[in-house]
Amino acid sequence: MEKNILLKIQYDGTNFRGWQRQPGQRTVQGEIEHVLQYLAGREISINGTSRTDRGVHALGQCASFVWDFPLPTEKLPFILNKRFGAGGIGRSGAPGDIRILEAREMPPDFHARFSCRGKTYRYIIERSGDIFRRNMAFQLADSLDHAAMREGAKFIVGTHDFKSFEASGGNPRETTVRTISDLTIEEEGDRTVIEVTGDGFLYNMVRIMVGTLVEVGTGKRTPDQIRCILDGRDRQLAGFTAPPQGLYLKEIYFK
Amino acid sequence: MEKNILLKIQYDGTNFRGWQRQPGQRTVQGEIEHVLQYLAGREISINGTSRTDRGVHALGQCASFVWDFPLPTEKLPFILNKRFGAGGIGRSGAPGDIRILEAREMPPDFHARFSCRGKTYRYIIERSGDIFRRNMAFQLADSLDHAAMREGAKFIVGTHDFKSFEASGGNPRETTVRTISDLTIEEEGDRTVIEVTGDGFLYNMVRIMVGTLVEVGTGKRTPDQIRCILDGRDRQLAGFTAPPQGLYLKEIYFK
């Protein structure tokens, strides 16, 4: 009997060429499909909620797939994680940088991408140049004016046309209007943690938002310029694209 | 004029085959020598204080070398770090996992290995299985009895024959007697931090000590068994070799 299975997945994006399967490249989708195929003895294709870029991490990525393999679903995380760990059969020496947190059976019409109603991303900026954290955060020596950044963030929250915050090169979209329901900026020691929740995100949208907020935080822009950037509907108006290693796909919400 | 230069070096050992230069392998010594050679236009050989193993990290490794290149020594860290960073000329895509903290001119008779009078190693054990920390600590789910471990550590401190704590495969040594001047075990949340200072260490000595102390901490051994292990002068008597990713060469002391 066919089962529609949802996986909740954590990964360290450092050594992946992003989520999406690509011939000859190590990707998260490719690694998971490779192990599922090893178990099932036939090709299995999984649908990820979010196509994270190279170097971007996930605390709670999701993916769904259909199979009829007679393996108890609740045992799947343990079995898959053994394959991803040291000594496993992962294609790339199995360095343990993927972990399946949960596997659940879903109704037949569930789809990890199309059933998604929102996501939360986390972005970490650190002042320290600690080499052991170089792939885990955006290391920025400048001090940031968090009050100004929060002021600017207020213009982002709500339903807006986010065309200015979209990089070229993504998939074509019907509309560039999105709703950001929450954007928080917390200071933890010499670390700045930005969390943004929305119903959907354009290509590189979080990283361009963060880059723009950093420019507000360093005084290069005033907070109310964010309003003009949104109104202008032009990527040139917004700030730089913050680097991928600070970005974590934190949580996904389903209908 | 020839200058004898001491470098203080930090590195993330994850993607190195250890310190020592080896043909066809990415090693810390190899990377640093490669960049120095690029600058000087001729082969430069450096002497590291400690030959750390594959996967072992350094907060304060040292190395010395002699050259007559007319570059102000104080500028060397900045210049070398640019080469090790993203976009640098490091042989292996320059992933930024080496950082030179300091460069100093030393008297002609100084040698990073022969002038060393002691070192401190740190070892980190974490109960959490956080995939983002998998290469930075020994991840061990068992809870540890720190009081028992400290009890066992008392037998290690002092001048002893540490033959039981020496792995085979190291360089031949005149004697296996060493003096451990300090061994501390601190609990920081779900992390255990062990620091050990001594005048010298045998091959894998810290990792075998940690493995043995972990066996005390999990109740597999009693603290006073450490005394018998030392007396027996036999590697078989001691515990397992704790994995490399928890080990950091923290500091080096010179005469």
CATH classification at residue B11: 3.30.70.580
Last residue of a domain, one of B78, B106, B134: B106
Give the per-residue pLDDT at B171.
Answer: 78
- Residue A89 pLDDT class (50, 70, 90 cuts): very low
Lowest mean pLDDT of A34-48, A87-101, A154-168, B194-208, name the range: A87-101
State the CATH number of the domain containing residue A155.
Answer: 3.30.70.660
Does residue A135 or residue A86 have the better pLDDT? A135
Residues B36 and B132 in one domain: no
Question: Is the CB of residue A89 less than 8 Å from the CB of residue A44?
Answer: no
**Does residue A236 share a domain with residue A139?**
yes
Q: Please count the other Cβ atoms lying within 10 Å of the Cβ belonging to residue B147.
A: 11
Same domain, A92 and A162: no
> Which of A11-20, A28-37, A93-102 shows the lowest mean pLDDT across its residues?
A93-102
Section B71-87 average pLDDT: 86
A122 and A245 in contact (C-beta within 8 Å)?
no
Q: Report strand pairing: B247-254 vs B57-67.
A: parallel
Interface residue of A11, A59, A132, A245 to substitute, partner B, most B CBs within 10 Å: A132
- Checking if the pLDDT of A93 tops 70, the result is no
Chain A: residue whose CA lies nearest to B9:
A131
- Written as six digits, the tokens of B187 are 């609990």
Mean pLDDT of B62-70: 95
Coil, strand, or helix at residue A14? helix
Note the ipTM here.
0.85
The answer, for A12 touching chain B at a CB cutoff of 8 Å, is yes
pLDDT of A86 reads: 52
Are B132 and A136 within 8 A, CB to CB? yes
Residues 77 through 106 of chain A touching chain B, CB cutoff 8 Å? 95-99
Q: Which of B244, B220, B225, B214 is nearest to B141 (CA)?
A: B214
Q: Are A65 and A121 contained in the same domain?
A: no
Minimum Cα–Cα distance from B100: chain A residue: A131
Q: Which residues of A215-239 are buried (b: 16+ CB within 10 A; e: fewer)?
A: bbbeeebebebbeebbeeeebebbb
Is residue B234 in some structural domain?
yes
Task: Give dist(CA B76, CA B105) in Å, integer.
Answer: 11
Containing structural domain, residue B136: 118-254
Segment (H or E) for A139 = strand A138-139
Q: Which run of H or E residues covers position A138?
A: strand A138-139
**What integer is the mean pLDDT of A212-227?**
97
Question: Are residue B154 and residue B126 in the same domain, yes or no?
Answer: yes
Contact A79, A15 (CB under 8 A): no
Same domain, A127 and A83: no
Residue B71: pLDDT over 70: yes
Residue B33 in any domain: the answer is yes
Q: How far apart are CA B185 and CA A74, in angstroms?
A: 39
B12-21, B84-93, B168-177, B218-227: the lowest-pLDDT one: B84-93
Mean pLDDT of chain B: 93
Under 8 Å CB-to-CB from A110, ≥6 apart: which residues? A4, A6, A64, A254
Q: How far is A205 from chain B (nearest CA, A)?
A: 24
DSSP assignment letter at A237: G
**Residues B174, B213: one domain?**
yes
Give burial (CB, 10 Å; 0-12/13-18/19+) of B2.
exposed
- B67: pLDDT strictly greater than 80: yes
Residues of B in contact with A99 (CB under 8 A): 129, 131
Q: Looking at the structure, do residues A128 and A196 belong to the same domain, yes or no?
A: yes
Is A111 inside any structural domain? no
Minimal CA separation from A123 to chain B, in Å:
15
Nearest to A9 by CA among A248, A201, A255, A196: A248
Residue B53 is given by DSSP the state P
Same domain, A97 and A25: yes
Q: Are residues B88 and B57 in the same domain?
A: yes
| Number of independent structural domains in chain A | 2
Can you say whether the dihedral through the CA atoms of A201, A202, A204, A208 is positive or negative? negative
Task: Give the number of other Cβ atoms within 10 Å of residue A194's Cβ.
Answer: 24
Q: Is residue B17 part of a domain?
A: yes
For A122, the 3-state DSSP assignment is: strand
Judge: A12–B134 Cβ closer than 8 Å, yes or no: yes
Domain assignment present for A112: no
At residue A95, the pLDDT reads 73
Beta strands in chain B (DSSP E): 3-11, 47-48, 57-67, 98-106, 116-126, 138-139, 158-161, 177-188, 191-198, 247-254
d(CA B56, CA B19): 9
Same domain, B73 and B171: no
Which residues touch A156 (CB under 8 Å, ≥6 apart)?
A: A180, A183, A196, A209, A226, A230
Indicate the residue of A96, A129, A131 with minimum beta-carbon distance to B131.
Answer: A96
State pLDDT tens for residues B142-181: 999 999 999 999 999 999 999 999 998 877 788 999 999 9
Which residues of B are documented as binding site for substrate? 121
The reply to whether B12 touches chain A by the CB within 8 Å rule is yes
Task: Quickly tell me which residue has 């033959």 as its tokens.
Answer: B163
Contact B12 A97 (CB under 8 A): no
pLDDT in tens, A153-195: 999 999 999 999 999 887 778 899 999 999 999 999 999 999 9
CA atoms within 13 A of residue B37's CA, in its CB half-sphere = 14
Is the Cβ–Cβ distance between B10 and A131 less than 8 Å? yes
Phi, psi of B49 (to 5 degrees): -70, -40
| Angular region, A143: left φ>0, alpha ψ -120 to 50, beta rest | beta
Q: Report the DSSP beta bridge partners of residue B191.
A: B126, B188
* Count of C-beta atoms within a 10 Å radius of residue A170: 13
Residues A122 and A208 in one domain: yes
- pLDDT score of B90 more than 80: no
Task: Report which DSSP code applies to B163.
Answer: G
Tokens representing residue B124 in the block: 């980190």
Q: What is the mean pLDDT of residues B96-100?
A: 92
